[in-house]
Structure 1
Amino acid sequence: MDKLPRWKDYLLKTKLFLAFSAASLFIVALTCLIFYHRNVSDFRTQTVALSDTITRQYSRTFELYVQDIEKLSVSIIGDPVIQQSLIDHYKSTDDVEQNQIELQVNNRLFTHLQPRPQLQSIYIFSLDDFAYYVSKANGPKTSFNLQDESWYADRDAVVRNKFLLLPVAEEETGGGRKAQVISFVRNINRIPFREITAYMKININVNIFKNMFVNSDSNEVERNMRVFIATDDGSIVYDGRSELTGRMDAGLAMSAFRQPGRSGDLVWQGRHYLYTLEKSTYTKWNTVILIPNEFLLSKQKKAQYILLLVGMLAMLLIAAVSYLLSHQITLPLRSMMTKMARVELGDLSQRMTVEGRDEIGRLSRICNNMLDSITRLISEVYESKLAEKSAQLSALQAQINPHFLYNTLNIMKSISRIRGIEEVAEMSESLAELFQYSMKNLQHPVPLRDELDHIRNYMNIQQHRFSNRFELFMAVPDELLDASVLKLTIQPLVENAVIHGLGKVRAGGCIAIRASRRGPSLIVEVSDNGAGMDGNRLHELRYALRHPGRPDDRREEAHGIGLRNIGQRIQLLYGEDCGIELAGNPGGGLTVRLVFPYRRHDLEEGAKNDEYLPRRG
C-alpha cells in the first residue's frame, strides 16, 4: 500500500488551495460557533431575566394578598363585639348564654367573611377548647378545639412571626364536596392588654392563585413555563396546572435548588429545567418558575439550522475563491519552471518574461540577473581555480617555514656547542623549544607545568636580551602543576609584562607568576612592578574584555588585542564563567588574572580518550 504524500510533496497550487480553504473555513466555523454560543447565551439570559421578573412579580402579588388577609385579621381582632364576646365567653357558665355568645360571634365573623369571595371559612379557638366557626359554603365544622389543630404544638411560632401560613388542606363544603384551602393562623390578644385570649384561623380557597397568577401568553416563555408556590420542605401550595396542588412528595424540596442565587438548572421528574426562585421573607414561601430545556433547545435548533446554512454557503464561496486565487498565482510559476528546466539542460539563453511589479515579476527579474551572473562567472572559473591552487601552495609553504626554522635552530645549537659558544647554543635551544611548543595543538589544553616550562624558555632568551634588569618569580604549588590550562595563554601575559610593563625599567624589575585554587576554579596571576596603567586606560581595557564584540579605535593596541584574544579563547573553551581579569597593583604595575575550571590534565585526557573506546552494554 502506497504511503500518502507528504505536505512538501504537494504542488504549490494544491498547497495554496488547501491552506486558503482551511484558514478561511476555520475562521467561518469559529465565527459561526461564537455567534451560536453568543445567541444561545443571550436567549438563555433573556429567558432567565424574564422568568426572574415574573417570579418576583408573582411573589409580590401573593405577599400583597396575605397583607390584605392580615389587615382583615386585625379588623376581626379589633372588633369590639368579638373582644367583649370572648370576655363574656370565659365568664359565662350558662349554656343558653353561651349559645347567645356563639351566635353573636358567628354573625360578626360572617360579616367579615361575606365580602371576600375566596375566603372559605373562619375559626376562632378559645383557650378552653371551644371553637367559633362560620363557612361561606355552609360546610360542617371539622375542628372543635385547639388540640385538634396540627399547628397548635408550634403555637410559639405564631406569636413570634405574628402569623403562620399553613400548606394546603381539604375542607368539607357540604354535599360531599371538598375544597382545597390554605390557612392563615394568628393569635387574638385582649385589648388593651397583651395576653392571648384565643387563636384565629382563616381558610383561603387555593383558587385565589388562579385569579392572581394569570399568564398573558404574550410570549413563548410564559406559554411554556410552569409556576409553583412551595414550602421549604417541598409541599406544593399551588401548581399553575392544578396537577400537584397539595402534594408533599413532588420532589421540589429546597434541596433540589443547590446552586447559589435565584436561578439555575435542575432535574425534576426525569426532565431538565431552567428555574428561577424567589423566597418571600414575609410569607416564608417560595415562588418557583420552571422552564423546560426542550423549549430552550428548540430555540437553539433554529439558530443551528440558520448558521449551518450560512456556513455551507460561505464554505462553497471560499473554496471557489481559493481555487481561482491559487490558479492565478501558480500560472506564471509554471511558465518559469518550464524555462528553468531548459536552463538545467544547459540552455543559458533562456530568460523569464517580466510582467508587472509584484512578487512574480521581481522573481523573474532576479532569475534573469542570476542567469546573466552565471554566464559572466563561467568565464572566470579558470582564474578562480588558479587562485585556489596558488592559495594551497602558499598554505603549504606557510607550514614548511616553521619546520625549516626549527630544524635550522637545532643545527645552530649543535654548531655553537661544538665551537664552545654556550650562550648562542642556549638561546638556540630555548628558541627551538619555543617554536616546537607553539607549532602544534594550539587549542588543546596542556598541564600547567608545560606552560611554565615554555615561559622559562622565553625568559632565558629575554635574560640574554635585557641582562639582569628584571627577574622571574614563580609561586605554584606542586599539586597544581598537573592542572589543565589552555595552551599559550600565560606566556603572552609574561611577554606583555616584559615589553609594556618593564620595557623602561633599568633594574629591580620583577615578574611574579602565582597559581591557586578558588572553589572549583584555578586562578593564575601574572604580576609586574612596572609602569602599570592609569585609571582611564585600565577602565577602557576592562570594558574591551567584557565586550569583545564592540571594537573601539582607542583600545586597538597590541597588548589590548592580545588580552581580548586570550579571554575569548578561554571563554569559547570553558564558558562565560572563565576568562581574564585586570587589577592595578598598589605599589605600581599590573596584575592579570586568568580563571580556568580546575581539572587534572591526566584525568581530562583520559576522559577524552574514553570517548573513542568501544563501550560495553
Structure 2
Amino acid sequence: MKMMQNLRPFRWNDLRLRNKLMILYFAAVFIPVMLTNTFFYTITAGNVRTEKVQDLRQSLERNKDNFRKMLEGVISFSSVIYNDGVLYSALDRTYASESEVIAAYGEVLNNSINRFVPLNKQFYNAYLFTDNDSLIHSGLLQFIDLQTKQEGWYQATTDQARSRKWLLYTNTPTATCRQTGATAASLAASEETGAGAGSAECGAPYLSVIRELDFYKAYSSYHKILRVDILPHYLENTLFDHSFPGEIYLLNPQGDVIYSSEAEPPAFIHEEAQRGKTIIASAFEGVDYLKGWEMVGIYPNEVVNQSLLDSRKFIIYLTCANLLFPSIIILLIARSLNLRLGMLLGGIKRVKNQRFEMLKAKPASDEIGQLTEEFNRMTQQINGLIQDVYVAELDRRQAQFNALLSQINPHYLFNTLDAIRMNCVIKGEEETASVIKLLGRGFRRSLSWGEDMIPLQEEMAFVTDYLDIQHFRFGHRLSYQLDIDEEVLELPLPKMSILPLVENACIHGIEYSEQPGSITVSAKLHSTRVVIRVSDNGIGMEEEKLRHWLARLEQSGVQHQQGKHVGLKNVYDRLKWHFGSEFSFSLDSRYGEGTTIELQMPAAFAKDEFIGERRIVDVENVDR
C-alpha cells in the first residue's frame, strides 16, 4: 500500500528531452518505416512469388503442349494406316504360298508402313498384329497367338467398354518383355542407335497408340490391330528442357510415372512439398484422350525464393535509406536541442548558485538561440545591477561612516559652545549666551542621524531657533510671524523642509533690503490638504530670473543641485519624491516687493506608524 502511494502518475513533462526525442523517433520514424516496409515486402513477395509460380506453370504448359503435339503426330500416322484400303485387302487375304506372301509384303505391306517409319525411325516403331496364319509373322507383322491375347495391351484393345476407336496404352516395366522384331527400317534404326526395340521396351515404361483396323467392313475376315510404340528417348527429347528449373514428371491416370527428368523418381510425388519443395501439377484438360493424365513440376523452394532475393535486397536498401536519412536529421536536430538546452540549464543552475556567467554560444535565430541571447542579456544586466548595488552599498556604508564621524566632531563643537555660553552667563551677557544656546540646539538637531521624517511641530522649532538667531543679527531690521494651525502640528514631513526656505528669505530677501524686513510662516489645513507659505518683503526677483528658477526646479540631475540656492532645489526634490503627484509648489516674486513660496501636500498620514518611528529615532538621538 505504501509503495502504491509512492508511485507518481506518469506525466510527459517528467521525461527528459533526450527520452522524449527517442520516443518521437521510434513512434514517428522507426516503427512506421519498419511496419510499412514489412507490409510492402509481404505484398511484393507474394506478388513476385505468384508471378514466379505463374512463369513456372507456363513453362510446364509448354511441355504439355509438346507432349500433346507429339501424340497428335503419332495418332495422325495411325489414322493414315487406319484408312489404307489396300493394306486392309492385303491383310485380309488368305495366301496359298510363300511367294504370294512375299510379293504382297514387298508391294503393299512394306510400302504402307515404311513410307512413314523411316522418317521417324528414331521416334517410334509400328507393328501390325493379325490372326491371319497364312502370312509370315516376322518384322512388322506379328501373329495374335495365345500369349499375345494374354497381354494387357491386347485385352485393353478388345475391351468393348472403351469409347474410342484407338487406345493410348502405357507399357510398364513389369510387363512381359519379348523381342518381337521390327521392320527392316526399324532394325536399321535400332542398330544405328545402339538399342533395339525390345531393349527399349523392357528398360522403361513407354506409350503405345493402339487401334483396331476395322474401318472397312468388307475386309473383316481376320482380326487386325495396329500398335505404334513411342520410344522412351523420343518422349524424353520431347519433354526434356535444359532451361526447365526443376524436375518434371508425366503421370498416367493410374499415377504411374511415364516420364521423369530424374534417374530415380520419388515414390510419392505429391509428398515432395513436405521436403521444402514447390509442386505444380497441371492436368490435360480439354483433351479427351488424355483425360486423367497429369504433368507435375517439382521445384526447390530456392528456385521460387531466388526471385525474391532481388526484391528483398531492394526492400532492405529502401528501409535503410528510409531510416538512415531521417535518423541523421533527427540526430542532428536532437543534438542541437539537447546540447543548447543543456548549456542553458547549466547556466540557470550557475545563476542559482550566484554565478552570473554569460553563455558562450554561437548566435542562432531559433527560439533556443533567442532564449540564450535573452539569458546573456539578463545575466549582463544582473551583473550590472549587482555592481551598481555593490557600489551603492559601499557608498551607503561610507556615508554612514562619515555621518558617524561627523557626529564625533560636533560633540567637541557643542562642548565648546557650552563653555562659551557659560562664560557669557558668568559675565552677564545673557543675550549672547541665549544665542549660543540656540545655535548649539540647532546644530544638535540638524546632525541627528537616522531621523528623516519629523512632525511639523519639530520643523517649526528649527525655524523659530533660526529666526531668533537672525533677529539677534539684524536687530530691529527683522521681524517674523508664525501662524500654525494645531491640526497640522503632527503632520510628518522630511526634515529641513521649511528651514531652507526661511534661510533663503533672510539671506537673499532681507539682507540686501534697506528697509526693515518681515518674514511670515503659516501652515493651514484646507479640507484634505495642508498649505504652507513662507513670505518676505525683501528685494524679490526679476521676472526673467523667476522663470529661470522655475525651470531649474523641474530639471533633475546632480549638476542642478550644486551652486547657489541649492537649499530650495533640495526641498523641492525631497518633497516631490516623498508625496509624488500630490505635492504642488508655487513661487511668486516681484522685484522690490518680496517673495512668496507655497507648498501644498496631503493632510492624511499614518500617525501611529509615525509615532512608532519617532520613538525609535528618539532612542537613537540620545546624547552620549
- Superposition TM-score, scaled by structure 1 size: 0.44
* Higher normalized helix content (fraction of residues): 2
TM-score by length of structure 2 reads 0.43
